[in-house]
């Protein structure tokens, strides 16, 4: 799980920095999709710990909202 988190974190960071440096807003939907995936991975790891299940459920719900915004921006 941690490998996937680091992988997507690097991708989101590179896309964000590239968009910031070049002032390119077309990458924003893909950054939102990446952030949604990162939040989903974080929520799943919280659910696996079985200590704070509420935080995991909220993280998964937030990731679904962020992921849907990213998909919506890609389709528009």
What SS3 state is found at 15? helix
Whether 62 has a pLDDT exceeding 90, the answer reads yes
Report how many domains make up the chain: 1
- Each residue of 9-58: pLDDT tens digit? 999 999 999 999 999 888 889 999 999 999 999 888 888 887 778 888 89
Q: What is the pLDDT of residue 34?
A: 92
Q: Which residues contact 18 (CB under 8 A, 6 or more apart)?
A: 24, 27
pTM for the whole structure:
0.84
- Using CA of residue 41, residue 44, residue 48, residue 54, what is the dihedral sign? positive
The Cα-based distances of 33 to 27, 38, 53, 56 in angstroms read 10, 9, 24, 19
Q: What is the pLDDT of residue 39?
A: 92
């Amino acid at each position: 799980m941690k490998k996937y988190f680091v992988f997507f974190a690097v991708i989101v960071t590179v896309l964000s920095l590239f968009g910031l440096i070049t002032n390119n807003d077309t990458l924003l939907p893909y950054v939102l999709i990446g952030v949604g995936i990162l939040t989903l991975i974080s929520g799943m790891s919280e659910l696996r710990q079985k200590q704070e299940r509420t935080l995991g459920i909220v993280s998964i719900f937030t990731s679904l909202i962020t992921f849907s915004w990213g998909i919506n921006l890609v389709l528009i």
